Structure 1
Amino acid sequence: MSVKLIVDSGSDLPKDILEQHDIDIVSLIVHLNGQDYYDRDTIDSQKVYDAMREGSAPKTAQATPDTFYDVFKQYTDEGRPVIYLAFSSELSGTYQSAMIAKQQIEDDNESAEIYIIDTRAASMGHGLVAYHTAKAIANGGSVQDILDTANFYVNHMVHVFTVDDLEYLQRGGRVSKAQAFVGGMLKIKPLLHVEDGKLVPLEKVRGSKKVIGRMVDLAGERGNSLDQQTIAITHGDDEETAQKLAEKLKEAYNPQDVIIHQIGSAIGAHAGPGTIALFFLDDVQQ
């Protein structure tokens, strides 16, 4: 039986890729204005961004073990191997929920094959790992070959991103109130990346125009063989800036493809509107 690939909504994968590769998606939970929603199911990111601009402070919660149990079991009951690629365990407890469900199923069914990989990634960093893993499945590789492919992309994914307003990071405890105030006054744009699954400050750039140019430069400094890669850009309701970044990347490096997608509710609730994120590899698979 063919391998079944599952991700969660922290991957921000576009709908057409999910459908093309038959990838199942597990929703993270978004708390907004006293109500609970399922990311990409009962709420879309536009509603979250609009609410944040009006002063709301949404929160998120991990998917539950019961949810994963139900999703995994429908495929293990068919005898299909399951691969779940998880949103970074440093940013969500969703990975741990999946591990609990895996153990419950395997306790009852010794032949069940469930493989769970912590991508240590977020948004389309996570999504690109899944995208390439799905292509490995389509190419008919063995389970081990597919897992090796996934782990290669996990180990070589680079995230570079900036936020429009430091206040959103302050709400989530990423920067202090004083830093957010001073940064806003000086129009400082923070650049961050992901290191070992955690959000880590990279540098500060003054002004929106300069930060896009710096992101392009960082792709050249940290990336490898960008002309052989599919690069991804995600944005917090700012497609115009995302398109500008894509144009500059194409001019500078001529990548094979650039995927642009809006950041989903779960990650957008923390990063806020105006976020721009770039994802590429520091090595390519030969």
Structure 2
Amino acid sequence: MNIKIITDSAADLSKNVIEQYNIDVIPLQVFLNDQQFEDGVTIQPNELFQGMREGNVYKTSQPLLTRFKDVFEKYAKEKTSCIYIAFSSGLSGTYQSSVMIKNEVLEEYPDFDCEIFDTKCASVGLGLVVLKAAQLAADGKSKAEILEAIDFYAKHMEHVFTVDNLEYLYRGGRVSRTAAIIGGLLNIKPVLNVEDGKLVPIEKIRGRKRVFKRMIELMEERGNNLREQTIGICHGDDEEGAETLKIMIREKFGTDKFYVNIIGAVIGAHAGPGTLSVFFLNKEAK
């Protein structure tokens, strides 16, 4: 049975990967004043990051409900079995909306075979889960085998990241105005992760080099067999920083498999230019 893999643009997957595995991606929305865009469709990450540097303030929202309905109805009519691998319900209402639309489609197409999975993951953390599922689907694995892998990867996926400027986290309501100002003056870089699908700060570190070192330490503390993993790295229009992090990881753990991509517009609107993140599998299920 051919299993169709569906996700949303918060997975921050490259166009090459999307095309290679024929993944259906539902775009989340980005707003600039009264202008409405779709992530990866009518606004690209580089455009958003440049706008943020120029002072633009972007807001985001879950996908249009019609996007879900169009995709789900298409596969319902084709009688195609599908899995929608969703952005964390702790960070967006995307998952809840997909469930609602699936139930609507089931009223008209009661045989619609679609599993919806709340990964509690974001950005390339979600992307690596989707990529694994797409590879298994391409290899002809059963739906049960793919769902088992999704569950494992989602439960073991670590997200460790830092932002270059606390101002963007302040705009998103993640830190106070005072913390943003003081952080900027003292060159403080927060290190954060995702726990139970929500952003949680780990600590604050002064200086970019120390942040990189701490991220590597966290990988060593939490990671499982890092040499054999595909390590995800995502950046906020900072290819140089991503390459530096990649080199440090390779030197420390001997890793030679990486998935590196720019952060998409929806995640980027909250994290800002200069954000750097690393994703890997941990030792214990979350």
> What residue is the counterpart of 2:167 in the other structure?
167
Shift of 1:107: 1.5
- d(CA) in 2 for partners of 1:272, 1:39: 15
The residue type equivalent to 1:252 in the other structure is K
Shift of 1:254: 1.8
- 1:28-58 deviations in whole A, cap 9, x for unaligned? 0100143101110111011111111111110
Report the aligned-residue RMSD. 1.3
- 1:164-190 deviations in whole A, cap 9, x for unaligned? 000100000000011111111111110
Moved more, 157-166 or 48-57: 48-57
Shift of 1:66: 2.0
> What residue is the counterpart of 1:94 in the other structure?
94
- d(CA) in 2 for partners of 1:49, 1:164: 12
Q: Counterpart of 1:77 in 2: which secondary structure? A: helix
Q: Answer yes or no: is the 8 Å Cα contact 1:183–1:189 preserved in 2.
A: yes
Q: Answer yes or no: is the 8 Å Cα contact 2:222–2:283 preserved in 1.
A: no
Once the two structures are aligned, what percentage of the paired residues are identical? 49
- d(CA) in 2 for partners of 1:283, 1:217: 15
Q: Answer yes or no: is the 8 Å Cα contact 1:29–1:38 preserved in 2.
A: yes
- d(CA) in 1 for partners of 2:251, 2:284: 20
The residue type equivalent to 1:270 in the other structure is H
Shift of 1:136: 1.4
> What residue is the counterpart of 1:31 in the other structure?
31
- d(CA) in 2 for partners of 1:251, 1:235: 20
- 1:105-146 deviations in whole A, cap 9, x for unaligned? 112222111100111111100000001111111222211111
Matched, 1:252 2:252: yes
Shift of 1:256: 4.2
The residue type equivalent to 2:22 in the other structure is D
> What residue is the counterpart of 1:130 in the other structure?
130
Shift of 1:101: 1.1
Listed as ranges, the gaps of 5+ residues in structure 2 are none
Shift of 1:96: 1.2
- 1:51-102 deviations in whole A, cap 9, x for unaligned? 1111111000111322111101111211111100111111111111111111
Superposed, which structure 2 residues align to 1:103-252 within 5 Å? 103-252=103-252
TM norm structure 1: 0.97
* Alignment coverage as a number of residue pairs: 285
Q: Counterpart of 1:140 in 2: which secondary structure? A: coil
Q: Answer yes or no: is the 8 Å Cα contact 1:33–1:56 preserved in 2.
A: no
- 1:235-272 deviations in whole A, cap 9, x for unaligned? 00101000000001011112241111100101100100
Matched, 1:79 2:79: yes
Q: Answer yes or no: is the 8 Å Cα contact 1:232–1:260 preserved in 2.
A: yes
Q: Answer yes or no: is the 8 Å Cα contact 1:232–1:258 preserved in 2.
A: yes
Shift of 1:213: 1.2
Q: Answer yes or no: is the 8 Å Cα contact 1:27–1:39 preserved in 2.
A: yes
Runs of 4+ aligned structure 1 residues displaced above 6 Å come to none
- d(CA) in 2 for partners of 1:159, 1:185: 27
Moved more, 232-241 or 140-149: 140-149
Q: Counterpart of 2:78 in 1: which secondary structure? A: coil
Q: Counterpart of 1:116 in 2: which secondary structure? A: strand
